[in-house]
Amino acid sequence: MTIQILPDEVASQIAAGEVVERPASVVKELVENALDAGATSIHIKVDAAGKRLIEVSDDGCGISMEEMRIAMARHATSKLRRAEDLFHITSLGFRGEALASIASVSRMTLESKTRTEKTGARLIVEGGKESQFEPAGLPGGTTVRVEDLFLTVPARLKFLKTDATERSQIDSLVARYALAYPDVRFQLVQDGHSSLSTPGNGNRREVLAGLYGVDLARQMIEVLLQEENLNLTGFISPVSVTRATRRDITFFVNGRWVQDPALSSALVQAYHTMLMVGRYPAAALFLKLEPEEVDVNVHPAKAEVRFRSQDKVFSVVQRGVRRALLASSPVPYIQPSRWEMSSPQPPLVSPDWQMAVEAKPPADAHEEPGLQPPSTMPQPPVFSAGILPLLRLVGQIGATYLVAEAPDGLYLIDQHAAHERILFERMMHSTRGTLPSQTLLQPEVVELPPQSSRFISEQISVLNQYGFDIEPFGPHAFRVRAIPALLTNLHPSAALSTLVEDFEEDEAPLQNQREARLVARICKRAAVKAGQLLSEEEQKALLLDLEACQSPRTCPHGRPTMIHLSIDLLERQFGRRGAR
């Protein structure tokens, strides 16, 4: 074959492979263009999951008749002049590729009128070739109609998912933009039915309600953190509402929807130890920072960005979310004396509180992805200085669970999980380097497999803060002089191996999270075991210590420490009240 420069349509069709993956990507590009044009109202019409029709109309600045043809050309943009402009981009578009790419794989009609023109114009392009261009009487703004998507590349149709999936992709895409731009009115009509409509009055909570329903929207916790030039706003789900995937985690950076695994892991880490393993929050978070701080030109669909100070951005996300979560947990309520059955309790209901007590163990396998609404609890719980009601010990069963009574019913407490939580918080809150440590009579040399020893070497300074005294001793060996007092029943090599057991390479890039994990491991080994008989004093102490915890309802690995049988539930079960 001879070498040839590809004709423009072919080059566009190839580029379209990156930009136009599916109908939702067309909607995204067209909505972004409308937003860049300063639209205050955007109307989207979709038929047959976008395969037959995608039409986006806006009331933005419009395109003048002279510029319509050029707008359709590849690398034609009004948003950037020089490559340097990339580093202070404030528009969503800048590549000048979307219209050309979409037009090359469909039949596209572009209708537009600027504010100063008397009439507008209509341009029709089929498979990248102009077929009609004429003046037309139009209202101000732009309508782009995309018919028969992938007409020129039918093979692509085979890669699409079911219509239901493609439709819901469009729904959630538009919903996200509606949330990111609450000042803009969005209307989405699919196959003649309205599937989203927002008022455009600037109120994000109202948009949330359209997305998640009124109930959850009301529960969503507001996040707000301003730090230097970084601004974080948005909403996160309370710990009581979890999902099986990260799909409902949305980040916008400077008005641009990005899918960044690192950002979502910063969010998930902020929920650390409050969610069960394998459950994720729902969140819509909006980051604003100086355009110079973000490189937007990483990905053809502009779905990824790079941050100049990546760590700073992550830590703002983490702290902002953590702070919002802690602030949302119930207001401490101090009882003048210990609980008495007769005294009426002030109502204090918090959806946040309800969750962990009612959380199901992860073994509960057939969970559907999606929302788990917290069950309503008619009996408002009473809170002690922690966020547990005051517990009165009844006793221990199976040498594994404690039974306790509270104003709002019966509690079964897993002694091992509860003790893990207590030790964990104690260690995390103690001043570094002050944890009791046990010096060995004879320093021990412990040899570890290469993988584990690399991990230990990296964490040596942390370990030495938490009661170890370790130093490297040859390539894969360590000399251990002391171990945490909590672990004195273990041989030093067992104590060290505890830390590296099934350590997976890591979705936690931040050092403080590794630290928390290490500590959680120490606690797991040190906590009382299931099957261990406890004296009455020990049982009582365990309950008191648990009440003093900040997150008493889950162990550091996110499993529940307790199960709550409410009075209401008991009454129903015994047929004393209400329907069975």
Binding site for ligand ADP (CB under 6 A): 29, 33-34, 37, 58, 60-63, 71, 76-79, 93-100, 142
Q: In angstroms, give the least distance from the CB of 292 to Mg ion.
A: 22
Q: In angstroms, give the least distance from the CB of 411 to ligand ADP.
A: 58
What burial class does residue 81 get, using C-beta atoms within 10 Å of its C-beta: 0-12 exposed, 13-18 middle, 19+ buried? exposed
List 12, 33, 242, 561, residue binding Mg ion (CB under 5 A):
33
Q: In angstroms, give the least distance from the CB of 63 to ligand ADP.
A: 5
* Residue 142 found at the interface with Mg ion (CB under 5 A): no
Q: In angstroms, give the least distance from the CB of 190 to ligand ADP.
A: 20
Q: In angstroms, give the least distance from the CB of 269 to Mg ion.
A: 34
Which partner from the list ligand ADP, Mg ion, none does 97 bind, CB cut-off 5 to 8 Å by kind? ligand ADP
Nearer to ligand ADP, 56 or 404 (CB): 56
Residues touching Mg ion: how many (CB under 5 A)?
3
Q: Which of 111, 93, 96, 120 is nearest to 33 (CA)?
A: 93
Half-sphere exposure of 138 (CA within 13 A, CB side): 27
Pairwise CA distance, residues 283 & 55, whole Å: 29
Nearer to ligand ADP, 120 or 560 (CB): 120
Q: In angstroms, give the least distance from the CB of 79 to Mg ion.
A: 8
Which partner from the list Mg ion, ligand ADP, none does 53 bind, CB cut-off 5 to 8 Å by kind? none
Coil, strand or helix at 327: helix
Structure tokens of 225?
Answer: 């953190």
What sign for the dihedral angle of Cα 443, 448, 453, 455? negative
Pairwise CA distance, residues 26 & 160, whole Å: 13
Coil, strand or helix at 229: coil
Nearer to Mg ion, 89 or 316 (CB): 89
Nearer to ligand ADP, 142 or 240 (CB): 142
* Residue 60 found at the interface with Mg ion (CB under 5 A): no
> Tokens 């209708």 label which residue?
111
Nearer to ligand ADP, 100 or 241 (CB): 100
List 16, 24, 37, 98, residue binding Mg ion (CB under 5 A):
98
Nearer to ligand ADP, 300 or 330 (CB): 300
- Whether residue 15 contacts residue 97, with contact meaning beta carbons closer than 8 Å, is answered with yes
Structure tokens of 484?
Answer: 């945490």
Q: How many CB atoms lie within 10 A of CB 348?
A: 14
- Whether residue 134 contacts residue 145, with contact meaning beta carbons closer than 8 Å, is answered with no
Coil, strand or helix at 27: helix
* Residue 63 found at the interface with Mg ion (CB under 5 A): no
Residue number of the CB atom closest to Mg ion: 93
Pairwise CA distance, residues 187 & 178, whole Å: 9
Which partner from the list Mg ion, ligand ADP, none does 63 bind, CB cut-off 5 to 8 Å by kind? ligand ADP
Helix axes 511-526, 492-500, angle to 10 degrees: 130
Site string for Mg ion, 494-523 (x = CB under 5 A): ------------------------------
Nearer to Mg ion, 20 or 549 (CB): 20
Q: Which of 323, 262, 356 is nearest to 549 (CA)?
A: 356
| Contacts for 229 with CB less than 8 Å, ≥ 6 apart | 289, 290, 293
Nearer to ligand ADP, 76 or 348 (CB): 76
Residue number of the CB atom closest to ligand ADP: 93
Nearer to ligand ADP, 35 or 249 (CB): 35
Structure tokens of 368?
Answer: 């559907």
**Cα angle: 113, vertex 114, 116; to 5 degrees:** 125
Q: In angstroms, give the least distance from the CB of 292 to ligand ADP.
A: 20
> Tokens 């309520």 label which residue?
333
* Residue 93 found at the interface with Mg ion (CB under 5 A): yes
Q: In the complex, which residues of this chain contact Mg ion (CB under 5 A)?
A: 33, 93, 98
